[in-house]
Each structure stands twice: as C-alpha cells, then as structure tokens.
Amino acid sequence: MILIVKLLYDKNVVLLADICFVTKDDLKAKIGKRIIELRTQKGWSQSDLARACNKDRQAIEKLENGKVNPTVYSLHEVCTALDVSLKNIVDF
C-alpha cells in the first residue's frame, strides 16, 4: 500500500514539475506540432485547415510554427475542423 501511494505521489510530482517548468514558447511549439500531426493525418494542407476554420493560411502557419499565442476559441475552431477534442491538442 505504501509503495503504491509513493508511486502515485512521485508520478504526480513529476507531472506537476513538467507543467511548472514549461515556458510559453515551449507550449506554443508543442501545440503547433500537435496541430501539424493531426492535420497531416487527415491529409490536409494548411490551406485546407484554414478553409475549414474560416481563417487564412498564414494564420494556420503562424499557429503551427508557434508564432502566435492562440486563444481557447481559436483552438476550439481548429479542433472542430479537425474533429478532435481540445484535450487531444493540449494533452502531451
């Protein structure tokens, strides 16, 4: 029992430490990479995703390259277009 509690505690501390030490730029880069993965799985170009989100291609390019700080709503639009949950994009 003590071993199980210790393992759960250690795992949660590591997860918390990972969250605490992520920078904004790292987070934007991870989100961008995940969007690229999901988009390419569908066989879509940036233009295809942009059309599905009612955005321009440059906006998608900036999002994927981590050049912008996306709002929750813009991520929601991307998720809707890709037919995935928000958790699927931000859960690393």
pLDDT for the residue numbered 38: 96
| Domains parsed from the chain with CATH numbers | 23-90 (1.10.260.40)
Per-residue model confidence (pLDDT) at position 51: 97
Question: Which tens digits make up the pLDDT trace of 31-81?
Answer: 999 999 999 999 999 999 999 999 999 999 999 999 999 999 999 999 999
Q: What is the pLDDT of residue 5?
A: 45
Q: Which residues of 32-66 are buried (b: 16+ CB within 10 A; e: fewer)?
A: bebbbebbeeeebebeebbebbebeeebbebbbeb
Give pTM, 2 decimals.
0.76
> What tokens does 52 get?
């599905």
| Model pLDDT, residue 20 | 63
Across the range 26-32, mean pLDDT stands at 95
